[in-house]
Homo-oligomer: A and B are copies of this chain.
Amino acid sequence: MRLMLVAGTTRTAEREGISAAGATRDLMLHTPSADAEILEYGELVRAPVTPVSPTGCPTPAAVTRAVRERLGFDVTVVDGGLAKPTGAPTVNVGAKPGRDVGEADPVQTAPGAFAAARQFGRSLPDDELVVGETIPGGTTTAMAVLRALGEEWPTSSSLPENPVELKRAVVEEAFAASEIEPGQAAHTPELAVRFVGDPVLAVAGGLVAGALEAGTEVVLGGGTQMLAVAALVRHAGVVGPLTLATTSYLLADVPELRAATAAHDVDLVVTDPGFDAADAGPLSAYADGVAKEGAAMGGALYLADRADALESITTATLDVLARLRDDDGP
């Protein structure tokens, strides 16, 4: 088993009110680079600070790292368009940072990165992959990609109040600026990503398509962005068993996920890490609907549950956060 984190950026995240994946707009572009370091080292190396939401909710990468420390699996980070330096080693499939989806052609590297990631996914030696993402603003681009594929499923948000109207306006703007209409990319998923998506969807879509083609079992660890990845894979004509492993917080926000996964022949597994307990400290924000998912957290919790280790994850995550606080300094 190998956990793959596709880490990248879209400047769509810099729009006011779109994402909670960073304390400030300026720090948001650092979040994927920092998440990659947290998964790889359990500490920051080059990134400036531990990612938190504007209200201080810690990044889900800390949860994924805690599960990794408990279970001991390999992690491989794939560069899905990182904009800031990371000390984590990354696989390069040619993705570049995504531009704002309001631009005409925001992800020009999408078709090439999709193809290279697909070839890479076909060649990996593992029997099972858990694939997750980290990209601030990614639920907005995921919504646009679903629409480009002709699908009306809703997407979640890292904010406790999903800014649905804002997202819809951005998606409309994306289609107005681009060469495609909603539904027009149903058979060309890499063009959906190129014209209204983000580079992480291109890389994750290619990676999962290639892995399935090679007979690898794939668990998508995450929420509605990983649903968009499943949709891209199915629209590419790739069959094979897929599971989406998410958190109870995500499903509470988007109950339509049950029908959406079923519609794509994807099994749904939902795990409740119990962050509503009295001893959960800053993780209790998750129970209040902040963050909800990200950095393969749902996939990691599924692995922890499968290994009968779910109960120890709150304590293990608080340990990781304590170490990260030391890195952040006073």
Contact = CB atoms under 8 A, between A and B. Distances in A.
Interface string A32-68: 0000000011111110000000000000000000000
A46 B87 contact: no
A275 interface: no
A41 B120 contact: no
A152 to B, nearest CB: 37
Contact of A45 (B44, B92, B124): B124
Contacts of A43: 125
11 contacts: A41-B124, A41-B125, A42-B125, A43-B125, A45-B124, A46-B119, A76-B89, A85-B92, A88-B89, A89-B89, A90-B91
A269 to B, nearest CB: 27
Nearest to A89: B89
Interface of A: 40-46, 72, 76-78, 85, 87-92, 119-120, 123-125
B46 A123 contact: yes
Given A41-B125, A46-B119, A76-B89, 19 more contacts: A40-B76, A41-B124, A42-B125, A43-B125, A45-B124, A45-B125, A46-B120, A46-B123, A77-B89, A78-B89, A85-B92, A87-B91, A87-B123, A87-B124, A88-B89, A88-B91, A89-B89, A89-B91, A90-B90
